[in-house]
Amino acid sequence: MASTRQSLDSPSSPSSFLAPLSISAAKIHSLARSLCSTFTSLAANSQEQFLPTPISDSVLRPEGDESGRYLAIDIGGTNLRVGFIELLDSDETSKDTTARGEHASERSRVRRHLEKSWPIGEQLKHNKAEDLFAWIGKCIAEVVQDGCLTWPEDLPDEIPLGITFSFPMIQHTLSEATLMSMGKGFQITSNLDLGRLLLEGYEKSRGPSLPRIKITAIVNDAVATLVSFAYQFRSNARRKAAMGLIVGTGCNATIPLALSKLHPKKRPAKVKVLDSDGEAEVDQDLKIAVNTEWTIRGAAGPLHDLDFITRWDEKLDAEGEAPGFQPFEYMTAGRYLGELGRIIILDYLTNNLSVPEPTLPPLLTQRHGLSTTFLGNLGPHLATTEPSLLRQLEIEIPPSAKGDAWHWTADVAEMVYDIAKAIQVRAAGMTAAAIIALLACAEEIHFSPLPQNLPNGAVTTSISVNGTKEALDELMVGYTGGCIVHFQDYLADCQGFLDEIMEAEFGRREHREDVHVYVPRVVLMPCHDGGIIGAGILAGTVQSLARDG
């Protein structure tokens, strides 16, 4: 272990207390290179990460005129959403309300109808699978009933359904999948038939007046995000929708990879393609959407080697539901950042300031007593509604009722804000490194074997994109999730780190042009609600293939 690792009971000065969390552009660049090698190895060897889907790149970017109304559900770590997704004809579009700035004129061929959302309570997470899916089936039946009332005589006897499932699974076909261990607080075991459980759950609530449902597509949330994102930008030749990214309750990504990069046992025998009757034998150079599950333990090596994991991360991991399972996620995702902050704050108060633990606010001594939402929003920007950082803390984490209770001070409030920012900056940098690493693993960009920087910062190696010299302007990463959007400056800092990694690897953009180096900018683009929209798009695409076949 490096010397920055300190004992939990060893005080340090305030100026050096947060040093274990500090990162630099050089450290993040090194992490990106190391993760690229790790991801390449995991794709080739791991049976629990880089999970293939039977979805070809052509299905991700369909050129046909899919249209119609399809049922879609998004089963997330926090909420369940059910609704109808309508795919419009090519000559019928609606304004894309998620587009911003210069992209605000983008038009969408997707409309959402009758969508409802339900929180997934902690009790449901601890129930057995049959109970959870019976509740999900009841929610689906409620939306289907709304559809029957809204479009009487217009719904088919059997409604095509697309499912987004925000947990690891093994896909046998596009409509058949087996659950793996779920994580995110769920206690459901693995090796369960997802489609069977969902159909049985719906049938328990389906009355004689409601139509049946037919599962046409099951995908992970990161896959669905990529499907939705690629559908939005499928006609833009200079800007490629290259990757789907989730940074919400959990953290995950999906990207198309060549079959040849995957272990032979992971390669689907048949893949859904558009230039066949639906499923076909394919060559090993074909790209398919791969659910990376990049936060699982197999990706932990570079985090240890480069000294990213602190004593606080180790404590959070050891006290979690599944120690060692998802170390990258514990450091980057919404379910864990609040608890990480609580652990660090508690350490600072008891070991640096020598505050007796029994006198502290009770929430600080309780596991998950500090929410990610509060820590992510804490800051001077709230001064318009709350007079100070101190007051924000006093309201959210009130002092003990005991007579000898310790009380917040302005100096400690500033330190808590510094802790929140340090957690966020590190998370943003790690996520940026993983994005670049995955793009390089997929050969969307190419790391130079031994980069030799010229004095002006340019790179001597000529870089190709997608195997050609025809440069893209942008490689777009479609992101969604409350954590990357709302936790401090996560989004802006992540984009900043992306730019810094690319500059460190390939030189400044103006210098690349001088030496004819062709490298696109890696750009984060919003793809909110991609889970439910992507499920509906896939259901429509598969149904279109069935009709055409």
CB 270 within 8 A of CB 54: yes
Predicted pLDDT of residue 482: 92
Using pLDDT thresholds of 50, 70 and 90, give the confidence band for residue 386: low
Q: How far is CA 241 from CA 441, 529, 549, in A?
A: 16, 16, 28
CA distance 424 to 375: 10
Query: CA angle 35-294-465, nearest 5°?
Result: 55
Render pLDDT for 235-259 as a digit per residue (tens, 0 to 9): 667 889 999 999 998 999 999 999 9
Report which of residues 170 and 525 the model is more confident about. Answer: 525
Render pLDDT for 426-438 as a digit per residue (tens, 0 to 9): 999 999 999 999 9
Residue 506: count of CB within 10 angstroms of its CB: 24
Predicted pLDDT of residue 77: 77
Selection from 376, 351, 352, 349 nearest residue 364 by Cα: 349
Report which of residues 88 and 359 the model is more confident about. Answer: 359
Predicted pLDDT of residue 156: 92
Render pLDDT for 353-374 as a digit per residue (tens, 0 to 9): 999 999 999 999 999 999 999 9
SS (H, E, C) 126-158: HCCHHHHHHHHHHHHHHHHHHHHHHCCCCCCCE
Average pLDDT, rounded, for the chain: 84
CA distance 195 to 328: 29
Report which of residues 239 and 382 the model is more confident about. Answer: 239
Predicted pLDDT of residue 172: 80
CA distance 29 to 437: 9
pTM of the model: 0.83
Using pLDDT thresholds of 50, 70 and 90, give the confidence band for residue 64: low
Burial class (CB in 10 A: 0-12, 13-18, 19+), 533: buried
Using pLDDT thresholds of 50, 70 and 90, give the confidence band for residue 281: low
The mean pLDDT value for 166-181 works out to 80
Predicted pLDDT of residue 170: 80
CA distance 162 to 216: 6
CB 453 within 8 A of CB 459: yes
Best-predicted range by mean pLDDT (74-83, 175-184, 413-422): 413-422
Predicted pLDDT of residue 3: 33
pLDDT of residue 41 exceeding 70 = yes
Predicted pLDDT of residue 382: 61
Using pLDDT thresholds of 50, 70 and 90, give the confidence band for residue 464: very low
The mean pLDDT value for 37-58 works out to 90
Sign, Cα dihedral of 405, 410, 411, 417: positive
Report which of residues 321 and 397 the model is more confident about. Answer: 397
- The rounded Cα 267 to chain-centroid distance in angstroms is 23
pLDDT of residue 342 exceeding 60 = yes
